[in-house]
Amino acid sequence: MDFQKLCNKVISLTEETAQMISEERKYFRAASGIETKGHSNFVTYIDIMSEKRLTEGLSRLLPEAGFIAEEGTTSKKGDKYNWIIDPIDGTTNFIHGLTPYAISIALMCDNEIVLGVVLEISHHELFYAWKNSKAYCNHSEIQVSANSQHQNALIATGFPYYDLERMENYIGSMREIMEKTSGVRRLGSAAIDICYVASGKFEAFWEYGLHPWDVAAAAFIVEQAGGRVCDFNNTPDYLFSGNIIASNANYFDKFYEIVHRHLGT
């Protein structure tokens, strides 16, 4: 399969869907347009519209593929290929008129991610890569940072909104990271946080309680940009364990040691 050609078609579909989201956002009324899936876990009618548009378009591109999609608008499963989709990553930001928020699309072949596209909609930052490619943002090659030192590292994270029994361990990891690094940022979109690791804006990212659609595309882009991705026990099960570390290669060992000590099992 020509993954580069397929990636270009996915980019076109993503940009078309982002334009629809931006148009609908002008008329969005939070009071009537939100449903609650759980504590601090929201979905808007625009999420649903976006996912339906994406699944329909991706089905035309690769009819044999199934889906792992956040809003569950399709239950189709593929024998070999499955798209992993987040129609709006950062929905809480979107609801409140904040940025970033993004579309995230990955293609999984058997158990391997082979394509990833993430589009931050408000600033049109388009991140993408395909199997054996470099990583790109807005058609320019990107790479993770080369920094290996705590004192020069800027770190990203996301605050968990369930599984709060692990909160004390998480706070412990945050305190140590805050003490040793130049700062911690929480933007509200895991996909964008991880893509910013890929482009060298952040040295590393960690979070627990995530889903495959939050991380699949961005984690693949980090790896294609020269970074490393794992769960809190340094295994490759970050897609389905819900726990992820993404880092540049030079800083990985130091960062992983902190997170694992607090949150590993």
Q: Where are the alpha helices (DSSP H) in the chain?
A: 3-25, 45-61, 91-95, 167-180, 190-198, 212-224, 238-241, 252-263
Residue 70: is its pLDDT beyond 90? no
Tell me: cis bond preceding 100? Omega within 30 of 0 counts.
Answer: yes
108-156 pLDDT, tens per residue?
999 999 999 999 999 999 999 999 999 999 999 999 999 999 999 999 9
Domain ranges of the chain: 3-140, 150-263
- Please tell me the pTM assigned to this model: 0.94
The b/e string for 184-198 (b: 16+ C-beta within 10 A; e otherwise) is beebbbbbbbbbbbb
Query: CB–CB of 197/85 below 8 Å?
Result: no
CA 108 – CA 60 distance, rounded (Å)? 17
**CA-to-CA separations, 77 to 38, 53, 74, 152, 245, in angstroms, rounded:** 25, 18, 9, 44, 28
31-46 pLDDT, tens per residue?
455 555 444 445 788 9
Read off the pLDDT of each residue in 214-232 and give the average, rounded to a whole number: 98
Query: CB–CB of 74/55 below 8 Å?
Result: yes
The number of beta carbons lying within 10 Å of the beta carbon of residue 156 is 24
Q: Which CATH class is domain 3-140?
A: alpha beta
Rg (CA), the chain: 17
The CATH code for residues 150-263 is: 3.40.190.80
